[in-house]
Every structure is written in structure tokens, then in C-alpha cells.
Amino acid sequence: MYPMKDACCTLFQDFNFNSIEMLTIEVSINVFVFALIILAAVFAGFSLRGKQVAKVRLKVEQLQREILHNHAEILALEKENINIESRMQDIQRPVIPIKTAIKEEQEENEKFPDVSLRKKLLSRENLQKQIRGL
């Protein structure tokens, strides 16, 4: 009925499985030694992982200390800022009257020579008069 099935079966019927020798490597190990090796591997894995966890915890503690230090410094600066602001509010600002400002301007003008006199002396008309007089 199935031609392929018959061909496949005849192929395996001709093949002799008893004549093939399989290549095997015999390893004999004691069960207790095997259990000891597994326990040693588990212990080594746990110890290595424990060291990694300890390093990470140490780093986390160091970062927490650094954050606390930074927060303390920020609080100290805020306190200083509040103290300075309160001192600035306590200082009464002097009121300078307008008349005083005018008097100060007049005093400054008295210190410098009069510019209008210099302009008169250096004007064209005055220079031409001086040239004619020579």
C-alpha cells in the first residue's frame, strides 16, 4: 500500500545493529566525591556572590553618607541665607531728601572748572580776534 514504507523497512532490516561498537569513555566516580564537588561549587558561588553584595552595600552606605552631608550643607546655607535676609529687613534704610542731592551736585560742580568759560575762550570768534591782534 505504501511503497516508501516498504523501502524504509527493508533498509533497516538489512542493517545489523549488533556489529557496531559504540565509542564510549568510561568514567567511574564515587557518589560521595561527586556530592562533595557539588557542595564545594555551591559554597564557592555563595562566597563570591556574598563578596559582591558586600561591595554593593558598602557603596550604597557611602553614597547615603554623601547625600546626608550634602543635605546638611544645603540646610546650613539656607539658614545663613535666612539670617542675612532677616538682617537686611532689620536695617532701616535712610531716606535721602531731594534737596541734599541738589546740594551734592553743586558741590561737585564747584570742584571742576567751569566748562562754559573754556568754550568762550576756544570759540572761533575769540580765536579770530586773537589772530587779528597779533
Each residue's pLDDT tens digit, 67-108? 999 999 999 999 999 998 888 777 766 666 556 555 666 666
Mean pLDDT on 116-126: 71
In contact, 120 and 126? CB cutoff 8 Å: yes
- Is the predicted pLDDT of residue 1 greater than 80, yes or no? no
pTM: 0.41
Q: What is the pLDDT of residues 3-48, one digit of tens each?
A: 555 455 555 555 555 556 666 777 788 899 999 999 999 999 999 9
